Each structure stands twice: as structure tokens, then as C-alpha cells.
Amino acid sequence: MALIDVRHVTKVFGSRPERALARLKAGASKEEILAESNHTVGLYDISLSVEPGEIFVVMGLSGSGKSTLIRHLNRLIDPTEGEIFIDGMDILKLSIRELEAFRRNKTGMVFQRFGLFPHRTVLQNVAYGLEIRGEPRAAREEKAAEWVATVGLTGYEDQYPEQLSGGMQQRVGLARALCTDPEILLMDEAFSALDPLIRGQMQDQLIELQSRLRKTIVFITHDLDEALRLGDRIAILKDGTLSQIGTPAEILLDPADDYVRAFVKDVNRARVLTVETVMKPPPLRLTDETLEQALAEMQRRGAEIGYVLNARGYRGVVTRDAVNAAIASHSGPTVDEIAVGAPSIAPGASLAEALPATLSSTFPVAVIDAAGSLEGILSATEVGEVLMPARQLEAAE
């Protein structure tokens, strides 16, 4: 079951949102409603669900409602209409006290402008969530010190936020959010205020932390590269409505509308897409067959080449011609001995990493996973098709 389930959430900002909502349902546009009644439609009919342990990225330009959306998940903002379930619990029904307990125990949040307490030291900032929970000082400072160390700020415990650089401040923000060990981590443009180099480092750190912690992370960004890099799934938000939800590959290869298409146009696909998203199933897998068995199998399947994989690992490629020739010259009993050694690539590799191998090989390159099994094959033609956006292909024709 989804951990976070948002159903038909609409948010209208203004003094009389109900009336604007009725107008919106009658088909009025956001602009009309703003002009008529000075009400702003922040979100309109948003439904999405987030699975436990995934990084769910909400991506949109400024004004698209993404910061409004993330604030609904811990009710810093209440929706005008709709339902929000977290772990099966309708959080809109919580009383103030229950809501405070929910925020203390279930969620942690990281902010774009860090939101650190300037009058508290790094350690006191990180320990804040535990202090709010009422944990004794010694216990909370011990836990906080561990998190300060985890984000690499050992030695800065007694500094004040303004004494730290932006990147270090956001590490404090991250440690503060993680210190209460929340199930859900809400990250509102957490890395947007940092310069590109530091941003890359923070993304690496988040990926590394996530591989150990398996939190459910909702990550807001306006940066598509960041979304593609971090997201297990990405939701694209435009003017308060969802344009598309999908994996990075789905978003890139199958954009739902022109807006998403325009967005993904300039993405460096070779760096974002992985081999497994574009590979083809292997035509023929051979192990320790005799040459005759192999030939029969190739003829039956209509395959010109076979990939030889046996107890000793990936052995290489055999062509039908080579098998024929080997049978004619009575050279050996099994295909293993005539297999031509060929490069292999990992399914998680980016296309950019896979490209040299596919270009240098006469045959499609085998995709071998960490366990040593043949997952698929990748040829330079497929890579080329994927890397060349459809529109440019049309133009070229």
C-alpha cells in the first residue's frame, strides 16, 4: 500500500475559497478566478501516491504549486478540498495535538532557505526535533552528535549557523530532519540555494544516505537534471496541475504533453538514461551446448548470433557462420571453445558509459548484471535512436 496517498487535492488561496472553488469546478480558468475575486488557485485536483522507500520528486517551475503541495503533506497548509492519507491515516482529521504528534514522529523537513535557528548551535539545531519530543538533554545531544558526524560536520557542533557556508548549513538542515528518524523526509528545494558544485555533492550524499536508510523522500525541485538524478519517480507539476507521473525513463522517452516534451528537450539523455531502460531481450543464450545443438537452436530461433554464458561466466559471442565453420572443421565439442570474447556492460550504466562499447563492437553488446546473468543486449543503433530526440529525427527525414 502507498505510504502517502493524495486524492483530488485542490487549494485555493484567498478569503472565500469555497466560492472560487465552485467557479473552478464550473470550468473557470485560474486567470479568470484571479481577475474576478482575487483568489489564487495553488493546486487543482492533484492525485498521487508515494510508495515506501522511494524518492518521489515533484518538479515544476516557480509558481507551479510544488512548495504548496509538499506543505500539504505535513499540513503546514490545509487543502481547500481533497483527502490526504499517510500510512492509511486521514491526516486532515487530526486535531491540533494529534497533528503536532504526527509532525514530531512521522515527518522531517528540509527547507530551501535552510530554516535553521540562528540562536542555536549546530548541535542544538540538530537536536531540536528531539527536544520538541521532550527527550532528555543527554540522550538527544548524543543522537544529534551522531547525525552531525554522519553529514560530515564533526568539529562544528558548537558553531552557530551564520558561521557556516551554505552547503554546511544545509547539511545541518538535513541532519536536523533525520535526527528524529522520521519515516518520511520532505525536502523543499533543499539544494536549490546552493551553488552547482556543492549541489552535486549534496545529491551524492543524499543518494548515499538513502541507500542505507531507505526513507520515503518527497523531493521538490525546479531542476530537471536534479529530478532525473534523484527520482525513482517524478511528478511534473504545471500551474497547479499534474502533467505526468513516471520514472525518469518514462518522462524522457514518453512525455505526456508538449509541456513535458519542451522540458525534457535539452536533457543530456546519454547521462540520464541507463542501459536497462533501452536494452533489448537477448536473442539466444547458449551455455555448454555442443556445436550441433547450438546450430539447431540457432536455426529454430532464426538467430544469427548467440551469447555464450556458462559456469565460468560470460564467454562471448558465436555467429551461425562460425558454428557452421567449426562443425565443418571438427574443431571442438562445445560452443564455449569457439566463442569470440566480447565486451559486456552493466544494466545500471548510463548510455554515455555504454556508448564506447557498443560502437567498438560488431555485435550488440551483452548486458550482464552483478550476479553474472545475461539481462539483455544493446546495439549502437538503439542507443542512437534514443539519444536522438524524435523531433530531430523527423526534421532530418
Partner 1 sequence: MFVDIGKPIADATNTFIEWLIVNYGDVFESIANALLTVLVLIEQALRWAPPWSVLIVVGLIAYAASRNLLLSFGIVALAWLLGSLGLWEQAMQTIAVMLVSVAIAIIIGIPLGVLTARSDIARALLNPVLDLMQTIPSFVYLIPAAMLFGLGKVPAILATVIYATPPLIRLTDLGIRQVDHSVVEASRAFGATRWQMLKGVQIPLALPSIMQGINQTMMMALAMVVIASMIGARGIGETVLLGLQRNDPGKGLVGGIGIVILAIIFDRISQAFGRRLQAYRTVGG
In whole angstroms, the minimum distance from the beta carbon of 124 to partner 1 comes to 10
- Amino acid identity, position 169: Q
Q: What is the DSSP letter of 16?
A: -
- Total binding residues toward partner 1, as defined by CB under 8 A: 31
User: Which residues, 180 to 199, sit near partner 1 by CB under 8 A?
Assistant: 180, 186
Residues 34, 71, 159, 197: is their CA dihedral positive or negative?
negative
Quick one: which of 239, 369, 383 has its CA closest to 309?
369
According to the binding rule CB under 8 A, does residue 117 interact with partner 1?
Answer: yes
> Are β-strands 305-310 and 285-286 bridged in parallel, bridged antiparallel, or unpaired?
parallel
According to the binding rule CB under 8 A, does residue 115 interact with partner 1?
Answer: yes
Q: Of the two residues 5 and 131, which places its CB atom closer to partner 1 in the complex? A: 131
Q: Of the two residues 182 and 306, which places its CB atom closer to partner 1 in the complex? A: 182
Three-state SS for 297-338 is: HHHHHCCCEEEEEECCEEEEEEEHHHHHHHHHHCCCCEHHHH
Stretch that binds partner 1, among 22-30, 56-64, 110-118, 264-272 (CB under 8 A): 110-118
- Longest CA–CA separation in the chain, Å: 89
In whole angstroms, the minimum distance from the beta carbon of 213 to partner 1 comes to 18
Q: Of the two residues 176 and 233, which places its CB atom closer to partner 1 in the complex? A: 176
According to the binding rule CB under 8 A, does residue 89 interact with partner 1?
Answer: no
User: Which residues, 239 to 298, sit near partner 1 by CB under 8 A?
Assistant: none
d(CA 210, CA 25): 40
Is 211 buried (19+), middle (13-18) or exposed (0-12) by CB count in 10 A? Answer: exposed
Stretch that binds partner 1, among 107-115, 245-253, 316-324, 376-384 (CB under 8 A): 107-115
**Which residue do the cell numbers 490545509 mark?**
78
- Which backbone phi and psi does 216 adopt, to 5 degrees? -95, 120
Stretch that binds partner 1, among 86-94, 156-164, 268-276, 361-369 (CB under 8 A): 156-164
Contact pick of 5, 81, 83, 102 for partner 1 (by CB under 8 A): 102
Distances (CA, A) of 395 to 382, 389, 392: 19, 10, 5
Contact pick of 16, 133, 265, 301 for partner 1 (by CB under 8 A): 133
In whole angstroms, the minimum distance from the beta carbon of 51 to partner 1 comes to 23
Stretch that binds partner 1, among 4-12, 46-54, 109-117, 277-285 (CB under 8 A): 109-117
Q: Of the two residues 70 and 237, which places its CB atom closer to partner 1 in the complex? A: 70
* Cβ–Cβ < 8 Å for 234, 314: no
According to the binding rule CB under 8 A, does residue 95 interact with partner 1?
Answer: no
* Cβ–Cβ < 8 Å for 260, 86: no
List 89's β-bridge partners, or say none.
Answer: 86
In whole angstroms, the minimum distance from the beta carbon of 104 to partner 1 comes to 3
In whole angstroms, the minimum distance from the beta carbon of 183 to partner 1 comes to 14
Distance linking the first and last C-alpha atoms of the chain: 47
In whole angstroms, the minimum distance from the beta carbon of 68 to partner 1 comes to 13
Stretch that binds partner 1, among 52-60, 111-119, 205-213, 268-276 (CB under 8 A): 111-119
According to the binding rule CB under 8 A, does residue 105 interact with partner 1?
Answer: yes
Q: Of the two residues 108 and 282, which places its CB atom closer to partner 1 in the complex? A: 108
User: Which residues, 67 to 86, sit near partner 1 by CB under 8 A?
Assistant: 74, 76
Quick one: which of 176, 89, 168 has its CA closest to 132?
176
Cell digits of residue 107: 515527518
User: Per-residue DSSP letters for 86-150?
Assistant: ETTEEGGG--HHHHHHHHHHTEEEE-TT----TTS-HHHHHTHHHHHHT--HHHHHHHHHHHHHH
In whole angstroms, the minimum distance from the beta carbon of 63 to partner 1 comes to 18
Stretch that binds partner 1, among 102-110, 204-212, 213-221, 224-232 (CB under 8 A): 102-110
Q: Of the two residues 50 and 335, which places its CB atom closer to partner 1 in the complex? A: 50
Chain positions contacting partner 1, by CB under 8 A = 74, 76, 99-105, 107-109, 111, 113-119, 128-129, 131-133, 160-162, 176, 180, 186
